[in-house]
Chains A and B, each alone.
Chain A
Amino acid sequence: MNIVENFDLFAPRLINKQELLSSGHRACSGCAEVLAVRLMCKALGENTIIASATGCMEIVSSMFPTTAWRVPWIHVAFENTAAVASGVEAGLKALRKKGKIDDRYIKVVGMAGDGGTMDIGFQALSGAMERGHDMIFVCFDNEAYMNTGIQRSSGTPMGASTTTAPAGKVSSGQKTWKKNMAEIMVAHEIPYVATVCPSYPLDFIRKIEKAKSIQGPSYIHCFSMCPTGWRSPSHTAISMGRLAVETGVFPLFEVEHGHYRISPDMPRKLRPIRQYFKPQGRFRHLKDDEIDQIQERVTLEYQKLMGKAKYL
């Protein structure tokens, strides 16, 4: 029986019913990023403290004097989330040791967009991971600076049109290949790195739970479809996430202590990326040969990953 298609049957037993990110937040309709944050909270449970970067998820959830957060949550700035989280973790550790707070185990989680992780937040993240704090860092990658108006980031895929790398008469949008953040985190030799997508909620929750169970730093890279920024209809968020995975554009995998494992959700045979590119306005300008070139690189990158991994 397919678990996802029979979700209503399985969900109550598989997923925490608590809504730790409440409704009433201001995310756009059809936002997969906020769905991912909600799923993450369900997987983490209430003994969690979240440090958030500036960005869509911060803005939509914390308009003073309201808040959507039912877990302790702190926002300080755009580029320093991992450092804030590492301070929270260090503070808790000291307070617990001195008996100033109860001794329950609390997971500290840093969260940021692709900009807050891969660009401006890169140094703070690298530092926090290298220092080995007991924390999870989750990158909600919607492939551009959405909060400030769809500007490119180093996570924007090649060929996508954004407001600072627009398609034009002599340009096909983003000229560079997406920074491979998961691999960079693997190179930090932290205990656990995983990629997730809210279109695969059970895989998502399992990986967050695994990260939660690990003492030390872990990194989760979440593919978070943004209908507004990708210029796609708001009902396509889930299907677009599935297409990204099924085409190999965003493979689901995990790396535990250096050991790669491809998620069982990955198809044996990838679909052509055209099927994923077609419905999205940000790729509309691409010519056939440009898509072919990108296809070649996607295939190559996927083969490289497969070379490192073996099926369960």
Chain B
Amino acid sequence: MGKRIGMEVAIAVAEAVGLCDIDMAAVYPITPQSHIAEHLSDLVANGEIDAEFVTVESEHSAMSAVIGASGAGARSFTATSSQGLMLMHELLPIASAMRLPICMAIANRAVSGPLNILNDHTDIMPQRDSGWISLFVENGQEAIDLSIQAFKIAEHKDVMLPVCVNIDGFQLTHMVEPFEMPSKEEVEKFLPPFVPHATLHPAKPVTMGAFAMSDYFTEIMKAKNEALKSSKKVILEVWDEWARLFGRAYKPVETYQAEDADVLMLTMGSMGETAQMAIDQLRAKGIKAGLVKLRLWRPFPLAEIKAVLKNVKKLIVTDRAISFGGPGGPVFSEIKSAMYAEARRPLIYNYIYGLGGRDVAVGEFVGMFDKVLADTKNEAADTYEFWGVRE
């Protein structure tokens, strides 16, 4: 049985990764991710994990190095945040196209400018179309669990895709939380050794990263899309197994008080826990409010989202990023397009909030519900608003 411990979440993520028999890690420091890099370095320095830690000179090189190592057949890990993730951007679709099961922890942080080190989702949203499996967590326990599951999902022979786990910077990474850390034996039992399809080795020379012109490019893109879409089956299997072994269940879309709700709110990441408290307050007042938490961002869980939203009248989509000059927040756009062809679909409201670390208290979530319920003429449906902004 795992141990119940209290620990800073970033350190715990490094501990969890350390349980996964990684062969190689290349991590470049950036707040609020750095504690992962530092703690992994400690684990290597103390001989607690038998891995090469490559002290790269940038995040671009971190991603390049894990691509190289993974190509050689090594279980490879990296972590980053914000500007670092933006610097990796060029390489993310290459890693997925090469079908390399790299795992990455992202301590989500606002992207400059202005420079800001605090939490929102403006770093991960521009990576949406990179072909990575992208998961969100709500608390420390989930961060640990998904960091371990990530390897099993990524390396499954039917998946072979990179996975990123989004962990809200500071809000989660720097919290000291109690949780259950699986034991080394438990992780060994859960996570089989990495068996790559092909590796860079003279015993069987392969060419990786060939260039392709218009005669093949479309087919390669479709193959990648199919691979990402069908990874959901494996993700669900891995979550089933995890629930059996550890008693903690995960779903692509989690709900709270959603079954009979008239109005639902959708969140991603750590805000879910605060929003949940708002739901309790609203329910106490007799308002049928509920919560939908999107855990699986890519592959997008279309069927699950449609099933959860089919009976609700109003939906509040919360976004921690904005598509400048576009139709609103990126999650809002996705949900709208998912529901467009449905015979029964909710009116959808969009609040852009919690940018650059701005705190959003329980009362403000209640305020969002109040505002949407007061819109009896549905005038604000299909629009977006910067919540709590000073004009």
A-to-B contact residues, CB < 8 Å: 46-49, 51, 58-59, 62-67, 69-77, 79-80, 82-95, 97-98, 100-102, 104, 106, 123-124, 126-128, 130-131
Known: A46-B202, A83-B56, A94-B50. 19 other contacts (CB 8 A): A47-B202, A49-B201, A63-B210, A64-B220, A70-B205, A71-B202, A72-B200, A74-B208, A76-B209, A83-B61, A83-B62, A84-B67, A86-B54, A89-B68, A91-B71, A91-B73, A106-B202, A124-B60, A131-B56
B65 and A90 contacting across the interface, CB-CB below 8 Å: yes
Within 8 A of A (CB), among B35-76: 50-52, 54-58, 60-62, 64-74, 76
Count of interface residues, chain B, beta-carbon cutoff 8 Å: 46
Q: Give min CB distance, B49 to chain A, whole Å.
A: 10
B206-219 to A contact mask, C-beta < 8 Å, 1/0: 11111111001000
The listed residue (A64, A87, A92, A93) touching B212 by CB distance below 8 A is A64
C-alpha spacing A95/B68, complex, angstroms: 13
**Residues from chain B with Cβ under 8 Å of A90 in the complex:** 24, 26, 52, 54, 65, 68-69, 74
Which B residues touch A79, using CB under 8 A? 60
Residues of B within 8 A of A71 (CB): 202, 205
Q: Point out the residue from A88, A100, A106, A131 that lies within 8 Å of B68, measured CB to CB.
A: A88
25 inter-chain pairs at a CB distance below 8 angstroms, sorted by A residue, are: A46-B202, A47-B202, A62-B209, A62-B210, A62-B211, A64-B210, A64-B220, A70-B205, A72-B199, A72-B202, A82-B61, A83-B61, A83-B62, A83-B64, A84-B67, A84-B71, A86-B68, A87-B70, A88-B71, A88-B200, A91-B69, A91-B72, A101-B201, A102-B203, A106-B201
User: Contacts A63-B213, A64-B210, A77-B90 given: A87-B67 contact, CB under 8 Å?
Assistant: yes
Q: Which residues of A contact B56 (CB under 8 A)?
A: 83, 86, 127, 131
Query: B94 on the interface (CB 8 Å rule)?
Result: yes
Q: What residues on A are CB-neighbors of B199 within 8 Å?
A: 72, 101
The answer, among B61, B68, B216, for a CB contact under 8 Å with A64, is B216
CA A126 to CA B24, docked complex, whole Å: 21
How distant is A294 from chain B, measured CB to nearest CB, in Å? Answer: 35
**Is the beta-carbon distance between A91 and B209 smaller than 8 angstroms?**
no
Output the least CB separation between B106 and chain A (Å): 19
